[in-house]
Structure 1
């Protein structure tokens, strides 16, 4: 039986606050640093590893974090989640995104069906549909193959699938798995849809409308934009569109779509990349086999997350170190820094995943908490970031923990040697140098050139970014965020904070405004 308690009521948290952090300028220098880098590493799925040598932890801190993991019952809470307990207390719902990629525990029944069977059935239906599109069984009205897929969605229906598509696009082209180009329309700003459509051959495009309720204002507005473009081209929209929605939405049985694939209320948008939301566009773009590899990587990482031993559980360890940095060391932000251009939109996805999940100031029972919760997440691929905001990271007044991601090899396996090293070697040299520079710093009498060091980081290292490693990487962060929510005793699976703006926007559009809202509406000529 698990119990849900605020972080500041746990005796292990009080012990943790009294433990002295590691001094990075000492432990990461010379032979000490070399040994530490070798020892402070945990294997992940798909050949990845999580290295935390450059975090401000030592054996005393790690022992205190283990006590916190046990007292907060992190392993038991994850088990309760994947066995189908109502962990989303705000909306009184199960949390089942893990089940889209495997069965970690007991069978879970909801809505009168076995949920693992439900998710597998949707994946199989999507695979069958995608194969028919690829082999020309499903075509446009002229009998010609579709060459482009365009996803219409917002938030989790866009950020995750878009980031995953970009991450695998070049890999797929190199490995003869590229079936169709994918594009995305998300912003209600008409310039977004107009720009995508202007560069798209709509006659050979299939559009994926993603809306769980079938009533999402921005998505339905963009659907109308797309339908207008199809009609102006003399095309029947119903022959070019599919829906990803719930079985009870108005889209589910509509003749306006070639087919409909289903999701449910037990998977939040930001956790939906491994559901039909990501499955439809990624299966069409790369083929169902590639999407299946992506799911396999996530499933393998989920199994590691179920390990009760913190030191063998990379997600739990990463989460607890993050709690230590946020609540004991007082760092308000975390930067995600992938040294891979393919992961250029991955930080944007993690912004939503983390900040929409753990940006809460009340606990699971609706009571205010008196300690910090989720950090601000931001990031950009290296080495571009080095020439942008790294100045603040190295010499600014705030310490920002860093999460690097790096791969030994590039996806396209093409490179050039200049000054006795390849581009990939230069990329990897930069990330290695940054880790040590942040940790150890450099003394200089000229304070403008002085680097204090002591700036913590971790790195996830892999051989190459593939569908399987991408799935493992995604599951790592999903589960890390979940564990942190458990520690903070908050509900990571609702997002009430996005609702108020939607309500007020509807009032503006109905011209039901007064006060400042009316003045702003007038200024914007609404």
Structure 2
């Protein structure tokens, strides 16, 4: 790893950034020319537009200097070459390698890991062809028509969000091969509801657990196996596993087959690994998944450019750091104006908050500045009728990230009351950006909109598999760059461990904390 791993507040460029005069009036800054030019190309007609962000040329120049001083692109190159970037766990970070090679060959235990990831994709593709052709069938001899993924955290949020993003478009084109469902929560009502709606004799289940010991996942596996047996179906003919080669699930006779991942791809970064590929390929086929991976790889390529005006993920990351650490904004909202992306904010919530919700640097020392923001969001226009009130007139200024598309996926839009539904959707999107930035004066105080609410916009012609891959990788790389800028480890997640440990005490009847014991008594039946 680079020796230059300075804390943000020790950077000369950060001191210069904080000394600059902030943009005084976002409404004045947001001119027609700026709307047309303040944007960076992403991929195939896809753009990152930052016209409504409160950054002018001096601020952008200081952000470039900050990126250079922190050597963020250099650190990214080292990551691609297989450097140990997850220092607390002494692991490489290789999710980029699951969708293509950009650096040196990464070899571990005598095996090329790019070859390993590609081999797993090829094995999944071959298995999916057998399922789609009816060569692999369930215990009753029926063809599979449904797939259900059992997993939690990164084994659920990303793959579920990606599936939902593409399902309607593929269904409308009559290209959907298997409908997909997901079970994640250990709450028995989650599994119970999903299982009640599935034709079990025609459902293939994917159990996803890297360690093979995840409590919630194994509990739900037992519920699924019990449900299958209750219909006299052999669970081993209805389940596949996605796990590590060293887990208890590997090579188990209780599965049709197993596909593998490793410790170098974190759960929240695993949508382009076997974790996401298995369910997506079963649902959509190999061609769609290849396009999805190609879009992600293209963004990874763009992220290597050291110039912020040609690197959308880096620019997005830098503006976010400026808003968090100079302007003091505590949160950010992700607002996709696409119902297909309804679960994308939930995925980004884990991606960002689990990665950058850290208070110590990579040397284990406490940092004296804010790191990752609170991330939340909802698909438009639903959010407008929910939490936009606070965004517009609340006491906190919350930066916004809009996502929009010129056309719908399904091709079934119609003119109603003089405009199509997609036109109405995009009219709302554009109106919100301007309303947040410019606000409104009014003689009645409760009708005043102060404005000065900054936002960015990612837009493309249509949400395709390639565009979805680009969108995913953009945010993954944004989070990575922000971690480098803050000098924190974005790739471990110790914050989830303490609760797990105390949970095991409760379940094992060995509670050591008096307060925890008191809560246990509240739930005794």
> TM-score higher than 0.5 here?
yes
SS at match of 2:88: coil
Q: How do 1:110-149 and structure 2 match up within 5 A?
A: 110-149=108-147
Q: Which runs of 5+ in 2 are unaligned?
A: none
* 1:60-86 superposed Cα distances (whole Å, 9 cap, x missing partner): 000000000100001101000011000
Q: Distance in 1 between matches of 2:123 and 2:25?
A: 52
| Cα shift at 1:19 | 1.1
Deviations 1:470-509 (A, max 9, x none): 0000000000000000000000000000000000000000
Q: Which residue of 2 aligns with 1:449?
A: 447
Distance 1:512 1:102 in 2: 47
Q: TM-score, normalised by structure 1?
A: 0.98
Q: Supply the distance in 2 between the matched residues of 1:36 and 1:126 (Cα, whole angstroms).
A: 46
Cα pair 2:140 2:201 within 8 Å, conserved: no
**What is the Cα deviation at residue 28 of structure 1?**
4.1
Which residue number in structure 2 is paired with residue 172 of structure 1?
Answer: 170
Deviations 1:21-61 (A, max 9, x none): 223444345xxx10111110000023210000000000000
SS of alignment partner, residue 149 of structure 1:
strand
1:375 aligns with 2:376: no
- Matches of 2:492 and 2:479 in 1, distance apart? 13
3-state SS, counterpart of residue 334 of structure 1: strand
CA drift at 1:441: 0.7
Of 363, 366, 369, the residue aligned with 1:365 is 363
CA distance in 2 between counterparts of 1:207 and 1:24 reads 54
Query: Secondary structure at 1:44's aligned position in 2?
Result: strand
Measured in 1, the distance between the counterparts of 2:11 and 2:278 equals 44
Given the alignment, which residue of 321, 324, 348 partners 1:323? 321
Counterpart of 1:6?
7
Q: Does 1:86 align with 2:84?
A: yes
Distance (whole Å) between structure 1 residues aligned to residue 317 and residue 237 of structure 2: 46
Cα–Cα, structure 1 residues 25 and 249, in superposed 2: closer, same or farther, change >3 Å? Answer: closer
1:525 counterpart residue number = 524
Q: Distance in 1 between matches of 2:495 and 2:59?
A: 34
For the residues of structure 2 that align with 1:218 and 1:504, how far apart are their CA atoms? 15
CA–CA distance in structure 1, aligned partners of residues 29 and 440 of structure 2: 13
Q: Report if the CA contact (8 A) 1:28-1:34 is conserved.
A: no
**Alpha-carbon distance in structure 1 between the residues aligned to 2:368 and 2:331:** 18
2:101 counterpart of 1:106: no
Q: Deviations over 1:431-473 (max 9, x none)?
A: 1010011101111121111111111000001100010000000
Q: 2:500 aligns with which of 496, 499, 502?
A: 502
When structure 1 is superposed on structure 2, of 140-149 and 258-267 the one drifting more is 140-149
Within-5 A mapping of 1:117-516:
117-513=115-511, 514-516=513-515
Structure 2 CA distance for aligned equivalents of residues 150 and 26 of structure 1: 48
| TM-score normalised by the chain length of structure 2 | 0.98
CA RMSD of aligned residues (A): 1.0
Give, in angstroms, the shift of residue 177 of structure 1: 1.9
- Alignment check: 8 A CA contact 1:407 1:465 kept: yes
